[in-house]
Structure 1
Amino acid sequence: MGSVAAPVDDADVPRYWRELGLPGLVDVHVHVLPEPVQAKVWRYFEAAGTHYGTEWPVAYRLPVEERLAVLDRLGVRAFPTLPYPHKPGMAAWLNDWSHDFAAHHPQVLRSATFFPEPEAPGYVAEALDRGTRIFKVHVQVGAFDPRHPLLDPVWARLEETGTPVVIHCGSGPLAGEHTGPAPMTGLLERFPRLRLVIAHLGMPEYREFLDLAERYERVHLDTTMFATDFTERLMPFDPADRPRLSALRAKVLLGSDFPSIPYPYAHQLQALHRLDLGEEWLRAVLWENGARLFDLEG
C-alpha cells in the first residue's frame, strides 16, 4: 500500500508515522489505573483461558513510569487513562485519581467515568468543571444498561457539552446482559447528539455499529484490537464491510488497549495498515481525527 511500509516492531513505529507525514499518534484507548485496580485487571487476564477460552499474555506488564516511557518512545503524543468502575461507589474516587494523574502528565487527556447511581450527575459535573476531556463507560464490566434512568441527566449533560465518551458496548470478548447494539440504539434515539466512541469497533457486532456511525453525526469508532491476528481468530471482520470503514474515515480513531494487549503495540498498526484503505485513511485514523476531537496542535 503506497510507499510507506508497515512498522516491523515497536522500535520502527516512529519511522512509520514520520513517513506518513504525522507528528505522532493519538491513541484514544489507553488505560492507566490506580495500582490496586490495575493489578486486579491483570490477574483477570492471567485467567483468560477460563474467561475467554484463549490465553491473553499482557505485553506491557510494567510499572507505570516504564509504561509511560514506552508510549513516549512509540510517539503517542496524547492518550487518556480511561478508568471504569465495576460497582457503585468507585467512580468518584477513580475520577479524583485520574484528575491528579493527568495534572502531573501533560500528555494525558484528563479522563473520568460514571456508574448508574444517584451521585453520578454531581461528580460528572465536577469532572467537567475540572477539565475532563473524555469519559469511559464499560457496559459489560459494569453490568448495567446505559439507558438506566439514573444516567439520564448525565447523558443530557454530556450531549450538551459534546464531551467524547469511549464506551465498551459490543459483546466481545464476552457478552453481557446489556451489551450489543440494541441498548446503544435506544440510547442514541433519546440522545442523538452524544459524542460516543464505540470501543473495539463494536466487536463482534461490527456491522450494526457501523450502522450507528453512519446514522448519527457524532458517533465514532475506535480501532482497539481491531483486525489483529488475535481478534481475527475469535471475532473476524467481514472484508465486505471494508468500503464502509473507508467511507467513515473521519470518524475512526486509533485505539490500542495498551498496556493490557497480548501482542506488541506495533501489531495494531500493522493490522490497520494491511486493511489496505490507503495512506489518507491511516493519517486520519492515527492522528488527524484524534487531534481534531481534542483540539491538539500538530
Structure 2
Amino acid sequence: MSAHHHHADSDVRAPDHAAEAAEVRRFWGGLGLPGLVDVHTHFMPERVLDKVWAYFDALGPLTGGLEWPIGYRHQEEERRAVLERFGVRAFTSMLYPHKPGMARWLNGWAADFARRTPACLHTATLYPEPGVEEYVREAVAAGARVFKAHVQVGAYDPADELLQPVWGLLAEAGVPVVVHCGSGPAPGEHTGPGPIARVLARHPRLPLIVAHLGMPEYGEFLDLAERYPRVHLDTTMAFTDFSEGFMPFPRRDLPRLAALGDRVLLGSDFPNIPYPYLHQLHALERLDLGAPWLRAVCHDNAAQLFDL
C-alpha cells in the first residue's frame, strides 16, 4: 500500500459508519439476536485485495460491465472495526487463487488473519493442482472451519479429478465450503448448476454453501438444496436493488426459499459492495418471510453450522 492510501484512510474524511452501525444493531436487536453471522466477507492480503479493487474499478469482464463502486475501501484494521461496530459476531475471510501455486500461500495468510481476529471463522481455499489434497488436509488440521472455492475466477471445473479427494475429505471432516458456482454476474466456462451437481452426485454429504443463492440460476440451486440436506445457500447480494436490477430472484420461488429456512445463511460480500451493508439486511427483511426466518438466516443457521 502506498503512503497515499494510508493517509487517505486515516484522515478525518474516513467515514466511521456510526449512523449505519446504529441501524444495523437496531435490526438484529429487534429480532432478539445477539448479533449477526456473515458467512461471505472478504479479507485477503492487501496486494491481492488491491488487484481485486482495481478489477472492479476497471469494470473487468466478470463484473458484467456494471458500475461497481467499492463501498468499504478502508485499511484492513478499519474494515475489521466496521464489522465489529455492526455487531457481526462471526465472519469469514473469503479468499481464492486465480492460478496454480497461490492457494497454499493464501491459506498461510488466512490462518494468521484468523489468529489475530477472534471473530473470524478460519477460512482456507483450494485450486485443482498437484498437492491440493495435502494442503487442504493441513488447513483442516490447523483448524480451518470453512473453505472458499471460486469456479468463475479460478476458471476450473469443480468436478475436476484433482479435486475429488478434497471434496471427500471435506465431506468427511464436515467442513463447509462456500462455492461461487452460479453464472452471475457473468458466466464462466464451468459456472452454472451442472458441474457442481456432478460433485454432489459423487459426494452427497459435502457441506456446500452456494454463494449468491446461485444467482442467476436460483431455481436450479434450490433444486440441489432440496435434494441434498447438507447444501446451504448464502444470500450474498441477492434481493438488493443492485442485483434485482439485472438478475432478479423469481418471485414464484419465494415459498421454496421460505421452506428451506434452515439452510439459508446471511452473506454480504463486504467490503466489495456498491451499496451500504444495511441494504442487504433490509433486502432480506422486505421479502416478508417472517421474523423466525430472518432470525435463522441472519444468525441461528450459521451459529448451528459452525457451532458458535
Equivalent residue in structure 1 for 2:78, among 45, 61, 66: 66
Q: Output the amino acid matched with 1:15.
A: R
3-state SS of paired residue (2:159): coil
Distance 2:270 2:112 in 1: 20
CA distance in 1, matches of 2:40, 2:228: 21
Provide the residue aligned with 2:196 in structure 1: 184
Match of 2:258 in 1: 246
TM-score of the superposed pair, with normalisation by structure 1: 0.95
User: CA 1:226–1:116 in 2, change beyond 3 Å: closer, same or farther?
Assistant: same
On the 8 A contact 1:52/1:173 being kept in 2, the answer is: yes
Q: What is the SS of the residue equivalent to 1:77? A: strand
Q: Please say if residues 46 and 57 of structure 1, whose CA atoms lie closer than 8 Å, have aligned partners that are also in contact.
A: yes
> For 1:180-236, what per-residue CA distance to the aligned partner results, in whole angstroms no more than 9, with x for missing partners?
000011111011000000000000000000000000010000000000000000100
Per-residue deviation, residues 85-139 of structure 1 (Å, max 9, x unmatched): 0000000000000001111111010010000011100000000000000000000
State the secondary structure of the residue aligned to 1:250.
coil
CA distance in 2, matches of 1:23, 1:128: 28
What SS class does the counterpart of residue 234 from structure 1 fall into? coil
Whether the aligned pair in 2 keeps the contact of 1:49 and 1:56 (CA below 8 Å) is: no
2:301 maps to which residue? Answer: 289
Output aligned runs, 1:57-206, within 5 Å: 57-206=69-218
Alignment of 1:26 with 2:34, yes or no, is no
Structure 1 stretches of 5 or more lacking a match? 1-7
Cα RMSD for the two superposed structures = 1.0
Cα distance in 2 for partners of 1:118, 1:154 equals 12
2:22 to 5, 11, 20: 11
Give 1:248 deviation, angstroms: 0.2
The match for 2:233 among 202, 211, 221 is 221
Which of 269, 272, 287 does residue 281 from structure 2 map onto? 269
The separation in 1 between residues aligned to 2:155 and 2:46, in whole angstroms, is 23
State the one-letter code of the partner of 1:13: V
State the partner residue of 2:246: 234
State the Cα deviation string for residues 54-77 of structure 1 (Å, max 9, x = none): 200000000001101110111100
Aligned-partner residue type, residue 245 of structure 2: R
RCO greater where, 1 or 2, for CA within 8 Å and sep 6 or more? Answer: 1
Indicate which of 57, 61, 77 corresponds to 1:46: 57
Instruction: Supply the distance in 1 between the matched residues of 2:21 and 2:245 (Cα, whole angstroms).
Output: 23
Q: CA deviation at 1:10?
A: 4.1
Counterpart in the other structure of 2:10: none
> Partners of 2:206 and 2:34 in 1: how far apart?
29
Unaligned runs of 5+ in 2: 1-18
Partners of 2:257 and 2:90 lie apart in 1 by 24
Identity of aligned residues (%): 63
Taking the aligned partners of 2:106 and 2:66, their CA distance within structure 1 comes to: 30
Shift, 1:53, TM fit: 2.6
Contact 1:49 1:55 in 2 (8 A): no
